[in-house]
């Protein structure tokens, strides 16, 4: 089975010879995987088009486009996952798994209960690291796009984005405790193909009443995620899996 790589270049014509110029992709294909002439690759070009390509020469990293592939691996709706800054490397895990499960974008911001405190320099380095995590996960899971990673330095930067979405949902622990079971399903039934939904998850300490009030004042809907209380790194995966099952399997 041909491996898949993002090459960050415009789509060539069928039969056209071209060079893989992206250093990360070229290194993995020709140095790590030791690909040989005649081997086939799935290459993702700009705008998410996938082309089956054949290696011509490993020496000059040249390949030829054989055919365009029409299969799609993207969710029918555009899901942005936003989480309060979690502890340690949990955000790495969330980014990797949310990418595999189809998130369009993954955001994180400081909530009142967030233990992690990152200044501008640390945020920049963390975002660069997470972008690499997302790229690797997108290639492994055969995505057609790499989720956009955005780390906000202030809570207000997150709420300023609400108007960009058709729906904003907040996974609220208290809603789950009170047995709320219908809002998530109802929200999914109201979504149409290509619409944009933002789902917000708190850090380990949860979401404060003040933050909930802010979300509600901006029109967000509080949802429960079943009868069990999920960890900060588990809840986004539950939500994405549920969205995938609803739109792709049912």
In this structure, are residues 173 and 229 in contact, taking their beta carbons and an 8 Å threshold?
yes
The whole-number pLDDT of residue 146 equals 97
The whole-number pLDDT of residue 184 equals 92
As a whole number of Å, the end-to-end CA separation of the chain is: 28
Q: Smallest Cα–Cα separation from 105: which of 82, 125, 73?
A: 82
The whole-number pLDDT of residue 131 equals 97
Q: Smallest Cα–Cα separation from 169: which of 105, 71, 39, 79?
A: 79
Average pLDDT over the chain reads 94
The whole-number pLDDT of residue 226 equals 83
| Per-position pLDDT tens, the chain of length 250 | 789 999 999 999 999 999 999 999 999 999 999 999 999 999 999 989 999 999 999 999 999 999 999 888 999 999 999 999 999 899 999 999 999 999 999 999 999 999 888 888 889 999 999 999 999 999 999 999 999 999 999 999 999 999 999 999 999 877 665 656 688 999 999 999 999 999 999 999 999 999 999 999 999 999 989 888 899 999 999 999 999 999 999 7
Please state the pTM of the whole predicted model. Answer: 0.92
CATH of the domain spanning 78-249, picked from 2.60.120.380, 3.40.1350.10, 3.40.1280.10, 3.90.70.10: 3.40.1280.10
Which DSSP letter does residue 105 get? E
Show me where the domains of the chain are located: 4-69, 78-249
Residue-wise pLDDT tens digits, 133-160:
999 999 999 999 999 999 999 999 999 9
CATH code given to domain 4-69? 2.40.240.20
The helix-helix angle for 90-100 and 120-140 (nearest 10°) equals: 30
Q: Which residue has the tokens 């047995």?
A: 179
Residue-wise pLDDT tens digits, 222-249:
998 988 889 999 999 999 999 999 999 9
In this structure, are residues 43 and 50 in contact, taking their beta carbons and an 8 Å threshold?
yes
């Amino acid at each position: 089975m041909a491996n898949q790589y993002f090459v960050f270049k415009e789509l060539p014509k069928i039969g056209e010879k071209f060079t893989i110029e992206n250093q990360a992709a070229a290194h993995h294909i020709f140095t790590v995987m030791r690909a040989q002439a005649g081997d086939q690759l799935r290459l993702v070009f700009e705008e998410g088009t996938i082309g089956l390509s054949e290696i011509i020469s490993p020496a000059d990293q040249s390949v030829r486009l054989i055919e365009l592939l029409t299969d799609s691996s993207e969710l029918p709706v555009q899901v942005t996952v936003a989480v309060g800054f979690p502890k340690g490397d949990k955000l790495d895990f969330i980014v990797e798994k949310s990418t595999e499960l189809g998130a369009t974008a993954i955001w994180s911001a400081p909530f009142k209960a967030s233990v992690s405190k990152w200044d501008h320099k640390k945020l920049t380095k963390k975002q660069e690291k997470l972008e690499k995590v997302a790229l690797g996960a997108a290639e492994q899971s055969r995505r057609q796009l790499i989720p956009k990673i955005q780390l906000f330095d202030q809570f207000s930067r997150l709420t300023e984005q609400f108007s960009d979405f058709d729906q904003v949902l907040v996974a609220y622990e208290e809603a789950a405790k009170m047995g709320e079971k219908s809002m998530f399903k109802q929200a999914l039934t109201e979504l149409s193909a290509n619409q944009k939904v933002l789902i917000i998850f708190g850090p380990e300490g949860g979401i404060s009443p003040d933050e909930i009030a802010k979300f509600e004042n901006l029109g967000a809907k509080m949802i429960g995620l079943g009868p069990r209380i999920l960890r900060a790194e588990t809840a986004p995966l539950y939500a994405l899996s549920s969205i995938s099952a609803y739109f792709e399997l049912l």
